[in-house]
Amino acid sequence: MGYTGGTTPDPTYHHLGNYSEAVEIVFDPQIISYQQLLNVFWHSHAPGRAAFSRQYQAAIYYHNDRQKAQALQSREQVAARLQGPIYTEVLPAGKFYPAEAYHQKYYLRQMPDLLAEFKAIYPTTAALVTSTAAARVNGYVAGYGTLAELQADLEHLGLSTAARQRLEDLVARAARFKAGPGCPVPWGKTG
């Protein structure tokens, strides 16, 4: 989570200027393609809904001509499928400013027991913010991912047995309640 697309230096949440809130994705094209990321993006927001402010505008920020062409092509395909206006912008990437620490790993921060484990593994804020494992757990806690996906990930997250069980219980409970992607896991007692 952070800010991009503006011109004033060093934006913050309370002094955003002309920036937009954004997520920067660093990816390995040997594992996932840019096109696959575009597909996830288009299925993760409402491109036919106009933003009420620049801060919350939907946009794809490209880094080169190839990404720009792919983003524009995917936008045209979505427009044809929806047969209506698309408000998602395709813009050149500018400098990305990470958001303040309290904006990072939001859902994970709502789970003090899991957060404590990650803080023990990643003692600095910068390390926690850039941790792939913490990002994955943040996603699971937010309602993204299946129990089978989590179980395949568990060995690589660095969590204790108790934390693993807690996370499995949360994801299983979300599945039982049929929480859709992006719906927070129904927290509280599990089991």
Report the length, in residues, of the chain: 191
Residue 154 lies in domain: 105-176
Task: Find the helix or strand (DSSP H, E) in which 165 lies.
Answer: helix 161-176
On whether both 110 and 93 belong to a single domain, the answer is no
- pLDDT value, residue 119: 93
On whether both 25 and 83 belong to a single domain, the answer is yes
Which of these three, 67, 98, 129, is where a domain ends? 98
On whether both 15 and 84 belong to a single domain, the answer is yes
On whether both 13 and 49 belong to a single domain, the answer is yes
- pLDDT value, residue 182: 52
Q: Are 74 and 38 in contact (CB under 8 A)?
A: yes
On whether both 82 and 63 belong to a single domain, the answer is yes
Residues in Cβ contact with 31 at an 8 Å cutoff, skipping those fewer than 6 apart: none
Report how far apart, in Å, the C-alpha atoms of 191 and of each of 7, 16, 169, 173 are. 50, 43, 7, 8
- pLDDT value, residue 176: 77
- pLDDT value, residue 44: 85
**Type of residue found at 128:** L
Could you say which residues of the chain have pLDDT below 70?
178-191
Q: Does 40 reside within a domain?
A: yes
On whether both 60 and 84 belong to a single domain, the answer is yes
On whether both 85 and 123 belong to a single domain, the answer is no
Please give the tally of structural domains in the chain: 2
On whether both 110 and 165 belong to a single domain, the answer is yes
On whether both 8 and 93 belong to a single domain, the answer is yes
CA distance 98 to 121: 21
- pLDDT value, residue 16: 92
- pLDDT value, residue 186: 44
Three-class SS state of 140: helix
On whether both 6 and 79 belong to a single domain, the answer is yes
